[in-house]
Structure 1
Amino acid sequence: MSDINANGARLLNLSSKDEAVSVASEIITAELDLAVAKRAKASFMVSGGSSPKPLYQALSKQDLLWEAIFVGLVDERWVKEGEPGSNATFIRETLLQNEAAGAHLLPMVTDHESAQIGAPIISRFYMELGQPFDVAVMGMGTDGHTASWFPASGDLAAALDKNAADLAMAVDATGCSGAGDFPSRMTLTRPAVVSTRNVILFIPGAAKRDVFMAALDKDEMDAPVRALLDSGARLTVLMCD
């Protein structure tokens, strides 16, 4: 395991995905346990994608006071739970199992026709968790996006605004390769993410490691994942071959 420092953040290059899952699970479990002990509840923001699936499955077996843990989403496709592409469904089926079945999952979709209409409601809803959030698990696409902060999205500048007043906003990612078949999104904004007490960027695999390391020398509009460095020492990046 090698340990690199970037803007105060720890960049850990681990020997395997299993080790990355183990280290991430240990960090997250400790931080959630501490948050519950200090504040009688914890807020845990999670991302979708295939990479964190084994991490969530491992966390689901941890002996925590899950009834006091509120699980929110870093971002979501504008689809209802149960429909194809839903991050909420993915989290319910991977994390909210076993010991973690009693955790509270907070949706990021309303009954409104568009994400633009629902965004103020979601922002206020997530605000009720209290700020800052306790833990956030972030992922990254091979295009350098994290959350629903996509290069070339017309909404990227607003999502990355350091002074964004809202916790969540709608994103139109039409034409962005990383968005796939779901261009209409809801996402946490930069201030909501980087103010989180503990940010874990979980990017196993050599290809993603190389994308992230290259992003350190790019403009954040071209590689939005770079914005996570604003978290400073509260950011831990877990990479492996």
Structure 2
Amino acid sequence: MNNKHVEVLPDKTALIERARERVLSEIRTAIERSDRATIALAGGGTPKPLYEALAKEALPWDKIHIFWGDERYVPPDHPDSNQRMAREAWLDRVPLPPENIHPMPTGAANPAVDARTYEQELQAFFELESGTFPKFDLILLGIGDDAHTASLFPGTEALQVRDRLVTVGNKDGQARLTFTVPSIDAARCILFLVSGAGKQEALDRIFAPEANPFVYPARFVQPREGQLWWLLDDAAGRNLGVG
């Protein structure tokens, strides 16, 4: 895949700085191209310092639209909420117009209903024809120790969904909302951030010449036309033989 880039940075501080550079570059390119930038955020601990760094930037915030690639099915003020983390670290600290923030809904008491609601919002925002997928300018992702990404977990039904933009993921019986594989793969740029020695085994399988993506879901991320970036700190990526 000639659109795949893998970089191993010395430590997490260098990883976050490189990610900041990449995000700013994608934002500027998107705004030059279409006068707006659309970004889907990741949850988890790794991107939080990136969000804190972006909160210090002077950007044309009125041209930036924020979405989420997945969300735990909890209220937005819940400690586990991806939306809450991103708002506290970044979004509430910059003058982003409220209408430019597009969180995944979790209030219908029915994950399938909320997944459909978010799908309809994406279809309207991106003015999609039936059967097509949004072309986000940037989707941020991480991986778990089990090689999941977004809320696409090993062996779950969400991995098989190809006719929806958003579906219901499952983590140990707990529902989550998540982009589907084709929604992710349609992006102009996908940026993985991975840190920590605990991710070495998952990365070995994700980067292996052959492995079952239903067991290692991040292997499904193969953008059709866009760029795929893997930014790893040394603790995570030292065994991959890349630099």
- For the pair 1:223 / 2:221, whether they are aligned, the reply is no
Maintained 8 Å contact 1:203/1:209: no
Q: Distance in 2 between matches of 1:120 and 1:132?
A: 18
Aligned-pair RMSD on alpha carbons? 1.9
1:128 match: 124
The share of aligned pairs that are identical, in percent, is 27
Q: Distance in 2 between matches of 1:171 and 1:213?
A: 24
- After superposition, the Cα gap between the structure-2 partners of 1:195 and 1:154, relative to the gap in structure 1 and judged at 3 Å, is closer
Q: Distance in 1 between matches of 2:180 and 2:119?
A: 10
Structure 2 gaps of 5+ residues are 127-133, 236-243
Q: Distance in 2 between matches of 1:153 and 1:57?
A: 33
Maintained 8 Å contact 2:153/2:170: no
Maintained 8 Å contact 1:44/1:70: yes
Q: Distance in 1 between matches of 2:21 and 2:3?
A: 20
- Look up the equivalent residue of 1:123 and give its one-letter code: E
Structure 1 gaps of 5+ residues are 1-5, 159-163, 176-182
Pairs aligned (count): 224
- Look up the equivalent residue of 1:223 and give its one-letter code: Y
1:169 match: 167
- Measure how far apart 1:7 and its partner are: 5.9
- For the pair 1:49 / 2:40, whether they are aligned, the reply is no
Q: Deviations over 1:115-142 (max 9, x none)?
A: 1122211101122332301001101100
- Look up the equivalent residue of 1:112 and give its one-letter code: A
- Measure how far apart 1:155 and its partner are: 3.1
Among candidates 185, 188, 196, match of residue 197 of structure 1: 188
Maintained 8 Å contact 1:43/1:129: no
Q: Distance in 2 between matches of 1:214 and 1:198?
A: 22
Q: Distance in 2 between matches of 1:98 and 1:84?
A: 18
SS at the partner of 1:118? helix
- Look up the equivalent residue of 1:149 and give its one-letter code: L
1:3 match: none
- Look up the equivalent residue of 1:91 and give its one-letter code: A
- Measure how far apart 1:148 and its partner are: 0.5
Q: TM-score, normalised by structure 1?
A: 0.86
Maintained 8 Å contact 1:7/1:232: no
* Equivalences for residues 18-167 of structure 1 within 5 A: 18-99=13-94, 101-102=96-97, 104-130=100-126, 131-158=134-161, 164-167=162-165
- Measure how far apart 1:214 and its partner are: 2.3
